[in-house]
Structure 1
Amino acid sequence: MDFSNTRTAVLLRVGLLTLNIFVLAYLIFNDGFFVTELVLFILMGLQVISLIKTLERNNQELIHFLESIRHDDLSYSYKTDSQNEDTNKLNAELNKVLKDLREVRKEKEADFQYLKNIVQHVGIGLITFNKAGAVQIMNTAAKKLLRINNIENVKDLGAISENLVDIFLRLRTGGRDLIRLEIGGDIVQLAIYAIELTLRGEEFKLVSVQNIQNELEEKEMEAWQNLVKVLTHEIMNSVTPISSLANTVEEELKLQLHNDQEVSHISSEEIADIHLAIQTIKKRSQGLIRFVQDFRNLTHIPKPKISEIKVRPLLEEMLMLLKREIEDNHIKANIRVDPENLTINADKELIEQVLINLIKNAAQAFDEQTNRLVELKAYVDEKSRPVISVRDNGNGIDDEALEKIFIPFFTTKKSGSGIGLSLSRQIMRQHQGMLGVKSKLDEGTEFFLRF
């Protein structure tokens, strides 16, 4: 008999088993010989076993195939030279699947190595660790920055700074923090950013660490240079005429004394000139004193006393306070708050100071415009943070001035002190918020208070 085909073998065994059952049943019902019945019964059992083995033969190959995949063993290869044609076909397909899986694994391994190289060579320090603090990845930049080789747990960084470990563990997704450390005798200012991830049901945290000390020093130097320019300009504007007028008065009095003239012999015109010079010196001195007082105010901002403030009543109070100035300038003002019950957590007096400054600036932003508008708007941004904006449709601010408007004592107004916007930005920073601006010439300006 030819068993080369599995289907034929199964059908033949089923047929023989069926025939055997009928013959056995016939003998039982017709009182046949007991020995013959026993032989047929044993033969039937052997046929059942043979049928099961035939059916399980291919199943064993499939089970072995699935187990090799489960254990990630793709090195096995199935024979395709047996006498069973169906088995050869099945094994050939299994070999194709294993080959495809090997190719996929190679591609994933290549992608992994590519990403691993990127992570290792990126200029920002990267550290990943699980909920227990066990470190999975620590790239080269992080090792160089923290001056360590390898650590098993993020808590091992306690040897550098316990505060650093606390920040790593405390930060949540989107959290940022700054820390100043001394590492190896060098002072570093680290900017730390964290994001939480879930991989295969396990929680991980990815932390980026960057030394921004050089950038801070450059910005600090730039800020000092800008401040010195402004201070020099303001002080020289006051000191130069004072010095010049003092020199003129001194020369005049010196001449009188040299000629042994009494004060009564000085003409009224000369006395008037001296009086005018002294008045000018007084005014410029008072201006210089005010300038110094403004500078002191800029460096002494009280700590905010935080309370919950309803935004709409706050904005309505501001417009009522500045109603006269707005009406005198023929400006239309409106308020839009969404949602209506929007609140902020802030120091009411300090925020009022910021809003008054911004609304006054908006009211003074017009030249010849007829349809003058100042709009106060409050809303919640995409990050669920409250925002208050003050917008006007006035002249706008050119790009060069826009870069300098937050520098102390810089102003584009003839009568401005130049500290309002700088002071307002510092107040917002005290609230852990920010003051931003966007402007377009001849279209208007909008300031944003983000809390």
Structure 2
Amino acid sequence: MLSDIQETLLQSLEAFQSTQLVKNKYENILEHLDSGVMLFDSEGVLTFINVQMARLLEVSRKSLTGCTLLQILRHPQLSRFKKKKILRIYRETIFHCKKYHELTDESGRQWLLTVTYGDQMDGDYLFSVKDVSDFKQIEQTAYRNDKLAMLGKISASIAHEIRNPLTAIRGFIQLLRPHLIKLGKDEYARIILMEIDRANDIIYEFLNSSKPSAPQTTVIPVSSLLKEVVLLTESEALMKGCQVLLHDDILPLHISVDVKQIKQVILNMVKNAMDAFDLLTGENGGLIEIRAHRDNKNVHICISDNGKGMDHNTLSHLFDPFFTTKESGTGLGLSVSYRIIKNHKGYIAVNSTVGKGTEFVISLPIVEIV
């Protein structure tokens, strides 16, 4: 009899230990997920929070476990920004039964928060947070490419429809020109023809800018390209009270590019930097720095300024066609630059802080000269 009891107890102990091992295993998995996880019971008490979630909240796990939502909102270590976000999520979850929430943190990174509750959770609420910034960037790039492709098609259609009547008008003016010469009005014909040609040039430039032609590449040293850009912008910088500084400690680096197109891109970014100094005053003025360095595969051309910088919303739309923050801007400059660099198998990165300045980094494949 006693041995039966001992055997039963031993089996129960082994079962408990096995269950505990499984529990510890799954808790260990949850602890080391790259997603943040937290669990509230049916009474609204936080019963579990993993390392990643505590790191996101910037509060120790020990001080949060066992707290109610109200206690968490009153936590002295939790920032005001995060308290507002938690309160908003609570309201949208409870009052609007919303299960998916998109958030942007103080540094501009984007997160997707998922809430799981219902019968399968026995009254508990499970919150999981995942960093989706990279996915959003891919999504924005695809959306931007679609817009650029559509812009190219629309531009080609508009150019065709406008050029046809302009060609007809030009032809009739040339037919009428002998009669205008007899009347002493040859100047009128000359002006009309000149303006028609100017309109054609504008259409061509718009068409070319919205859909850049395939690059005609030449291998050139990066230093000579950047020196030429500085020479072209020095006078305008002087008039605007700013300085363009080229760091001439550039190692011999070579790239295979369409010189005209890449020059257009760099000039556009330097001029944008000049525009960023409109609100700057004082003795220091504006400073635009240009430098280049390399890694194993690419040359990185950096154009930085100490201007007014850009907020997250502006940065997220920066390369969208027709998006501009300037009163007289067309919103095509950076979208065209993006397309040109993409056609060269490169990419553009931007870092900006409001009140501190902006840095554009153009990355292009390096050419090794033997």
Q: Same fold (TM over 0.5)?
A: no
Name the structure, 1 or 2, with higher relative contact order (CA <8 Å, separation 6+): 2
| Bigger radius of gyration among the two | 1
Query: Structure 2 length as normaliser, TM-score?
Result: 0.44
Query: Structure 1 length as normaliser, TM-score?
Result: 0.36
